[in-house]
A and B are shown apart, each in its own frame.
Chain A
């Protein structure tokens, strides 16, 4: 059996095309010594160089004489021979987005590491734990939580509490449905570095007060359902105080409005009943005292006024055309 297979292999190789012969070599029985080692075919390729072989020799692809044939040759790509280049003909416009972007982390990455035992699910998960378990190797500005793999939260037994700088709506909903919580924390690059490498900072730095743009971003995540923990500036505190007052007033107003509505409803029903009674009495009176044989209200002004007006179509008059036949 073995010898027939070996013969078949040789015959097939003879009748094979070049594409089939470029198959990687079979695993062989040669011993592992320093003269029996080779890399896969196609792993390394001989470099093409100028000045070797017929087509790449003589002038080596540079043409004859001129500025381009000299060493260190060439002009910058925006040079157009003296004509004002395109980068200077056109005006400047626009702005660029900032490069300080949050790093994206998905739920499936966290679930994998909890199952491997590299993250402790009983304690809150911080950015420091994500770095030690190598979800990412560098993080300068913060972390955003996204919801890829949110269905796999059901495989875990414990609810999660995660501390990040931003999160999406579906991620927050998925963690809430499993019984956990998402917290939003504000980090500057320096404070983040202290959080991740505490042995390099002998003195503790004080926490930062975020600017208005960052506060608005945190408030947007709070509307999605997260909990925040950061130092609040004055205008935020004043806004919250005003909000509370308005809510209390609205509650009171709502309470009074409800009462008023009830009162109004009862009043209206009572009024309606009174009206009906009055109408009945009036009809009875009118019927009893007056002669209503030829009484019409409203009185008739003319025959053919209002609804009883007799309407007639106007007659159709055709034009008279004179044909002078001469």
Chain B
């Protein structure tokens, strides 16, 4: 009886509207979702829209996978840095205080043993990391689930660009007011190369955070109630998640060649030398200057003669 009622209950939810209460076997959206693109300066829509990929933004909702990912990311950077002393680190020597027998005292081997006054702690804290393991496929799927849940709750708004003409915080604050999010914390997701003016203007604001596509975590998805994404970031996000799946399937492998197949450049005296390190470039400049001035032979004669081959003194141009 109970299970029959539960079946009807679930089916009624999943049929018509997208909600967070869909079962694991169904997708929340029936068709593809397309969001309109909004201009950053006016907060008004342009005539364009962008379609979101179904394999990333339309996955069945699983709250348990998201909980596991959140726990994984929380513990990824955590570690216990303090440790208690052990017997070898204690301030006492390891000698026996008094012999085993023929004294009226109890037998003991170490003066600062645990259980005694001024003794060390037994089985205390140790330096260790709190990282846990999670399969890579679970991590990917949980990210996708978080993105669909954010879509259902209506957190996303797509922006054309984040570029600014001036790097001033005043202008940014006025723009945020038009988005009605100056009081609540807000997140802006940009592409891999963000604008310099935008970074300068947004660095001193407390209620605004910026991040790139690579730093877009599950915790940031769940923490912020309104998220602004640029059009380039959406495209880069879909590509990165697709490539992540292909690497799990074993494709997108970097083809390495044999050592003999890499070409070796031969020396052309006509071309100028391209050196990698700065020190070598300075040596080259000194050599060419001496050649032009005609003081090469003098420099070689004035070099200090030592049995061991040591470093050559550089020239002081002053």
* Known pairs A9-B9, A202-B260; A34 contacts B2 (CB<8 A): no
A240 within 8 A of B: no
Q: List, in ascending order, chain A residues with CB within 8 A of B259's CB.
A: 202
Mask, A1-15, CB within 8 Å of B = 1, is 110011011001100
Do B10 and A33 touch (CB < 8 A)? no
Q: Is the CB of B2 within 8 A of A16?
A: yes
A113 to B298, CA, bound (A): 73
Question: Taking chain A's interface residues, is the majority helix, strand, or loop, or is none over half, making it mixed?
Answer: loop
In the complex, are the beta carbons of A5 and B250 less than 8 A apart?
no
At the interface, yes or no: B300 with Cβ under 8 Å from chain A? no
With most chain A CB atoms within 10 A of its CB, the pick from B1, B2, B21 is B2
Judge whether B305 is part of the interface by a CB distance below 8 angstroms: no
- A23 proximity list for chain B (CB < 8 A): 6
Q: Which of A31, A38, A202 contacts B20 (CB 8 A)?
A: A31
Q: Could you tell me the distance in whole angstroms from the C-beta of A50 to the nearest C-beta in chain B?
A: 13
Q: Decide if A199 touches B153 in the complex (CB within 8 Å).
A: no
> Given the known A-B contacts A13-B2, A27-B10, A33-B222, are A38 and B64 also in contact in the complex, defined by CB atoms under 8 Å?
yes
Residue on B nearest A37 in the bound complex, by CB: B67
Partner of A202, one of B10, B19, B258: B258
Question: With the chains together, A275 CA to B138 CA distance in Å?
Answer: 97
**Pick the contact of A32 from B1, B20, B23, B64 — CB < 8 Å?**
B20
Interface mask (B249-261 → A, CB under 8 Å = 1, otherwise 0): 1110100111110
- Output the nearest chain A residue to B250 by Cβ-Cβ distance: A134
Q: Please, which residue of chain B has its CB at the minimum distance from the CB of A32?
A: B149
Q: How far is it, in angstroms, between the C-alpha of A134 and the C-alpha of B246 when the chains are bound?
A: 12
Q: Are A32 and B21 in contact (CB under 8 A)?
A: no
Q: Is the CB of A201 within 8 A of B258?
A: yes
**Contact flags (1/0) for A192-220 with B, using CB distance below 8 Å?**
00000011011000000000000000000
Chain B positions 166 through 196: 1 when the CB is less than 8 Å from some CB of chain A, otherwise 0? 0000000000000000000000000000000
Is A34 in contact with B256, judged by CB distance below 8 angstroms?
no
In residues 10-58 of chain A, which contact B (Cβ within 8 Å)?
12-13, 16, 20, 23, 26-34, 37-40, 43
Evaluate contact between B10 and A31: CB separation under 8 angstroms. Answer: no
Interface contact A32-B146, CB-CB below 8 Å: yes
B8 at the interface (CB under 8 A from A): yes
Assuming the A-B contacts A27-B10, A199-B258, are A20 and B64 also in contact, with contact meaning beta carbons closer than 8 angstroms in the complex? no
Report Cα–Cα, A161/B300, bound state, in Å.
70
CA distance A202 to B1 in the complex (A): 71
With most chain B CB atoms within 10 A of its CB, the pick from A26, A30, A32, A201 is A32
A12 contacts which of B5, B146, B149, B249 (Cβ < 8 Å)?
Answer: B5
- Cβ A118 vs Cβ B251 within 8 A: yes
Please indicate which of the listed interface residues B12, B23, B64, B70 has the most CB atoms of chain A within 10 Å of its own CB: B64
**In the complex, A132 has a CB within 8 A of chain B:** yes
Interface members, chain B 238-296 (any A CB < 8 Å): 249-251, 253, 256-260
The residue among B24, B67, B68 with the most chain A CB atoms within 10 A of its own CB is: B67
CB <8 Å contact, A29 and B21:
yes
Distance of A133 Cα from B252 Cα, bound (Å): 11
Least Cβ–Cβ distance between B177 and chain A, in angstroms = 25
With a cutoff of 8 Å between Cβ atoms, the chain A residues found around residue B253 in the complex are 132
Q: B63 interface residue, CB < 8 Å from A?
A: yes
* A191 nearest CB across to chain B (Å): 15
Q: Are A37 and B20 in contact (CB under 8 A)?
A: no
- Is B233 an interface residue, CB under 8 A from the partner? no
B5 touches A9 (CB 8 A): yes
**Contact between A38 and B258 (Cβ–Cβ < 8 Å)?**
no
Q: Are B153 and A31 in contact (CB under 8 A)?
A: yes
Q: Which of A13, A27, A199 contacts B61 (CB 8 A)?
A: A27
For A2, give the chain B residue with the smallest CB separation: B12
Q: Are B66 and A32 in contact (CB under 8 A)?
A: yes
Given contacts A9-B9, A39-B64, A39-B67, contact A28 B21 (CB under 8 A): yes
Is B153 a contact of A32 with CB atoms below 8 Å? Answer: yes
How far apart are B226's CB and chain A's nearest CB, in angstroms? 13
Q: Are A30 and B20 in contact (CB under 8 A)?
A: yes
Q: Residue of B at shortest CB range from A27?
A: B21
Is B22's beta carbon under 8 Å from chain A? yes
Q: Mark B118-152, 1 if CB is under 8 A from A, else 0.
A: 00000000000000000000000000001001100
Contact indicator A37/B66 (Cβ below 8 Å): yes
In whole angstroms, how far apart are the Cα atoms of A30 and B63 in the complex? 10
Q: Which residue of B lies closest to A38 (CB)?
A: B67
For residue A42, give the distance in angstroms from its CB to the closest CB of chain B. Answer: 11
Chain A residue contacts of B6, Cβ below 8 A = 9, 23, 26
Cβ of B234 within 8 Å of any chain A Cβ, yes or no, is no
Shortest distance from the beta carbon of A139 to any chain B beta carbon, whole Å? 14
B79 beta carbon closer than 8 Å to chain A: no
Given A32-B153, A34-B222, A38-B67, residue A26 in contact with residue B2 (CB < 8 A): no
Cross-interface CB contact of A5 among B8, B23, B153, B222, cutoff 8 Å = B8
Which residue of B223, B249, B250 has the most chain A CB atoms within 10 A of its CB atom? Answer: B250
Chain B contacts for A28, CB-based, 8 A: 20-21
Report whether B260 and A5 are in contact in the complex, using a CB–CB cutoff of 8 Å: no
Closest to B260 in A: A202
**A39 lies within 8 A of B5 (CB):** no
16 contacts between A and B (CB under 8 A): A6-B9, A9-B5, A20-B2, A26-B6, A26-B21, A27-B10, A27-B24, A31-B20, A33-B223, A34-B222, A34-B223, A37-B67, A133-B250, A199-B256, A202-B259, A202-B260
Which 3 A-B pairs have CB atoms at the shortest separation, nearest pair first? A199-B256, A134-B250, A202-B259
Q: Which residues of B contact A (CB under 8 A)?
A: 1-2, 5-6, 8-10, 12-13, 19-24, 61, 63-64, 66-68, 70, 146, 149-150, 153, 219, 222-223, 249-251, 253, 256-260
